[in-house]
Amino acid sequence: MIMSETSPQNYILLLSCPDRAGLVSRISQFIYERGGNILDLDEHVDPVEKIFFVRVLWSAEKYSISASELEDAFRPLAKEFDASWIIRLTARKTRIAIFVSRYDHCLLEILWRNSIGEFAIDLAIIISNHSDLAPLAAQYGIPFHIFPITSDTKEKVELQELDLLEKSSIDTIVLARYMQVLSSQFVESYKNRIINIHHSFLPAFVGSNPYRQAYERGVKIIGATSHYVTEVLDEGPIIEQDIMRVSHKDTRNDLVRKGRDLERLVLAKALRLHAEHRILVNGKKTVVFD
């Protein structure tokens, strides 16, 4: 992250709208008229759908205005553009809840990177359906909540979890190898705010046993994919992916071992991109400004 992004006077605009001439000029003028100085601007136009995407970071040291006042001022312009948009004060960290089961590698990566200040997040709570990783959470001083879950109790437990998330003012959920499928009602409550890690290069090998499937097919490349969660399993908008070459010499356990290295790095990068407001969802796809 560019250190200046976290300044208390810095703002980020993420916007998408139908493409038209003069959009960058109008947005830049809006910022200039309010004493802002643009530090970074990245844009993209989808050549097929003719949709304009932009991320703007600017400094507002010359004027004092709250994020809500800035939103009110920008709203007429956004309405004119027929835009989907957010404005975020960079000093406000994204409040995160991590859901995890028994695998610790992705959780460890996030805890370590967060401990050295790599993420613009406030890691508020960890939720699990098992007690195994409670000592790890305690080591980092993160509240750990256990919600055992069965098919008979799933609906009730999810309501309890949602209540805890609301009370904890959670912005985003990270599934760090959480071995449960969330209900459509749960997913809708945090639309485009639940980040998952899947242990294959999607769309190949969806489901719970991708390493077994990859080994049986004799693949020469394995991968990991981080994506937003939707109602359809493993088909949400993709945020980040990476791959690693394997060979006929690798056992199934070798694939799992190598794949875990990919999983932890891919999920960590996806979380960073999300927390820095670098992602715009476009239907089943994403535009990622990195």
Claim to verify: residue 70 and residue 102 sit in the same structural domain: no
pLDDT of 2 reads 39
Q: What's the pLDDT at 198?
A: 93
Question: Are both 196 and 54 inside the same structural domain?
Answer: no
Mean pLDDT score of the chain, rounded to an integer? 93
Nearest Cα neighbor of 143 from 134, 151, 154 is 134
Calpha distance 28→34 (Å, rounded): 10
pLDDT tens digits along 144-170? 999 999 989 999 999 999 999 999 999
Measured torsion, CA atoms of residues 185, 134, 276, 44, in degrees rounded to the nearest 10: -50
If asked whether residues 212 and 142 sit together in one domain, one would say yes
- Among residues 40, 62, 89, the one where a domain terminates is 89
Q: Is 122 a catalytic residue?
A: no
Structural tokens at position 288: 């990622």
Claim to verify: residue 190 and residue 268 sit in the same structural domain: yes
Residue 198 β-bridge partners: 225
For 71, other C-beta atoms within 10 Å of its C-beta total 15
CATH of the domain at 47: 3.30.70.260
Paired with 225 in beta bridges are 198, 241
d(CA 81, CA 51): 11
CATH code assigned at 190: 3.40.50.170
The predicted pLDDT at position 203 comes to 85
Residues 258 and 168 occupy one common structural domain: yes
Q: Is the domain of 216 the same as that of 282? A: yes
End residue of a domain, out of 45, 63, 89: 89
Same domain, 103 and 237: yes
- Per-residue exposure over 193-205, b if at least 16 CB sit within 10 Å of its own CB, e if not: bbbbbbbbbbeeb
Query: In terms of domains, do 42 and 123 share one?
Result: no
Residue 125 has pLDDT above 60, yes or no: yes
d(CA 17, CA 15): 7
- Give the model's pLDDT for residue 61: 79
Confidence of residue 64 (pLDDT cuts 50, 70, 90): low
Tell me the per-residue pLDDT of 255-272, one tens digit each, with 9 for 90 and over.
999 999 999 999 999 999
Confidence of residue 135 (pLDDT cuts 50, 70, 90): very high
Q: What is the pLDDT of residue 152?
A: 93
- Kindly report the pTM of this predicted structure: 0.92
Are 73 and 126 part of one and the same domain? no
Assess whether pLDDT exceeds 80 at residue 4: no
Domain residues for the domain of 234 are 94-288
pLDDT band for 233, please (50, 70, 90 cuts).
Answer: confident
Total domain count for the chain?
A: 2
Residue-level pLDDT at 8: 65
Active-site annotation holder among 19, 82, 122, 234: 234
Per-position DSSP letters for 233-244, written without gaps between them? TT-SPEEEEEEE
* pLDDT given at position 68: 84
> 7 pLDDT exceeds 50?
yes
Average pLDDT over residues 122-144: 97
